[in-house]
Chain A
Amino acid sequence: MKPDVGVVMQGFFGTLLGDVAPHLSAEYSMGHVGIMGLMLHMTGELHDRAADIRLAENSEMRSLFSHAAALVEDEALKQRLTSAAETLDASLRISVLEANNAELAALLIELQTHVEGSQASWAAGLEARIWDYLVATMERRELPFPSFG
């Protein structure tokens, strides 16, 4: 698709802020246009990396669950971790990746809660690995924000 989605969104961002907003008389409408332009700017970049981010997250959570399943003693949780670790992303559509991501994230919350309450020898290491994943994923999801200073 040409021009590239990112290029079009950046272009719209510039047009809205440079050409449209200055000609609006209502402060309220100008505010809306500014925010919509900013979100087009973000969308332009997110569009390119959205699938990659979700695919990577889903893969890392499955790997984490596979590792955790070998450690936790709770049989029911162990079984659910094993099952989740074996799931696949059947499509690269964002809606599919997001639905899978939400299911995996719900299990991650359950696992993290379980690990926090454990004094087993493996607990500290697993807790640290979960946090490493969460910090990395929040960094990976960082939205672009133009400087207005």
Chain B
Amino acid sequence: MEDLAPRVAAYLAHRMPAASNIEVSGVSRIHGGASRETFRLRASWEEGGTRVERALILRRDPVASLIETERDLEYNAYRAFHPTGLPVPEPLYLETDLKWLDRPFFVMEQIEGCAAGSAFNDDPYGAHAGKIGRQFWTHLGHISAADPQAIGFSANMEPVAPDECWARELEKWEKVIDEDELVPQPVARAAIRWLKRNPPPPTEKISVVHGDYRTGNFLFDGEGNIRAILDWEMCHLGDPLEDVAWAADPLWAFKQPERPGGMIAREEAFRLWEEASGMKIDPVRLRWWEIFNSLKGLAIWISAGKEYQTGANRDPVLAFSSWYCTDVHDRVLAKRLAALSKEARA
């Protein structure tokens, strides 16, 4: 395995000219997060006569990934939300010069003493499920309520009109399926046709959309406090109900359909989101985004399967998500679309 420590130390020396005797230790790759290589490490240095030590996270672009994303989107999301009080790590450096670590990367604060719940665990939060769930949905409400321009999120973001959010996202993920499917996908294709035939009403507000807000993508401490909302690599501007539907998608903690993500009941979750966001959930729009998100999931898992099959990336998590997550989302979508088809023909 490559020794990143001296290379990271050289980079930190470049970014911190006032620091001396920089040492980097404990570089350890974190499992999961197949869209980025993620490493935790400790850096220490002398500055102003004292020894400083800091735990850091380094997120580096992979050779190929679960999802093709731009690392500056994620970094800019952290930069926009960190001053707002939303629990996100402090972003420190974004680097696109390949000379340092061969690929672009960014460095941020490491939130220590926390864990992430597994999206595939039946009960990822145990006794803290209620407390964590209430924070989870309230934080999402605050993300949805944020003014993207005022917090600096919109800079370099592609703008979108309220009546175009759905079409832009659908086009993006349909293209992924077109390019990456290894076998014909009858359920995904039926979903695409349904989504095009039944466009949602325009969103009442263009919001920050996290794009992957779910169980597994935040850290919580031993007292059940959410300490960091992570994995913003698919963030964009759009309809806030896109995030609501993704967070409530049945894939996360699949065996607990009444408690999205293995946290709190769907009704309470949505009420908390409405209170925090100041918006009401339109059931017609929500249904569209629910079906869209199961399709988006399929697109991601199909793409992961292609990466693995072609040898572009042999991370086992890609093979797993292509098998298991495709299996769940195909079933969820087939049942839902079958019911909608019968309703429409009745």
Contact = CB atoms under 8 A, between A and B. Distances in A.
A135 B327 contact: no
Given A26-B29, A135-B335, A142-B327, A36 B342 contact: no
Given A134-B334, A138-B331, A28 B122 contact: no
Interface stretch (B42-50, B182-190, B235-243, B280-288): B182-190
Question: A interface, by DSSP: helix, strand, loop or mixed?
Answer: helix
B338 interface: yes
A149 B186 contact: no
Given A27-B29, A42-B324, A143-B324, A127 B345 contact: yes
Interface residues of A, number: 38
B255 interface: yes
A107 to B, nearest CB: 9
B69 interface: no
Interface stretch (A66-74, A76-84, A98-106): A98-106
B183 to A, nearest CB: 5
A38 B122 CA distance: 15
A148 B118 contact: yes
A147 interface: yes
Given A35-B320, A134-B186, A148 B120 contact: yes
Contacts of B327: 138, 141-143
Question: B interface, by DSSP: helix, strand, loop or mixed?
Answer: helix
Contact of B184 (A42, A102, A141): A102
Interface string A105-149: 110110011001000000110011001101100110111010111
B189 A27 contact: no
B28 A39 contact: no
Which residue, of A98, A116, A123, has the highest number of chain B Cβ atoms within 10 A?
Answer: A116
Contacts of B319: 35, 39
A30 B319 CA distance: 16
A124 B341 CA distance: 9
A101 B185 CA distance: 11
A102 B186 CA distance: 10
A11 interface: no
A147 B254 CA distance: 11
Contacts of A106: 184
A105 B341 contact: no
Interface of B: 28-32, 118, 120-123, 183-187, 189-190, 193, 254-255, 315-317, 319-320, 323-324, 327, 330-331, 334-335, 337-338, 341-342, 345
Interface of A: 26-28, 30-32, 35-36, 38-39, 42, 98, 101-102, 105-106, 108-109, 112-113, 116, 123-124, 127-128, 131-132, 134-135, 138-139, 141-143, 145, 147-149
15 contacts: A26-B29, A27-B30, A28-B31, A30-B31, A31-B317, A39-B316, A105-B183, A105-B184, A108-B186, A116-B193, A138-B331, A138-B334, A138-B335, A148-B120, A149-B123
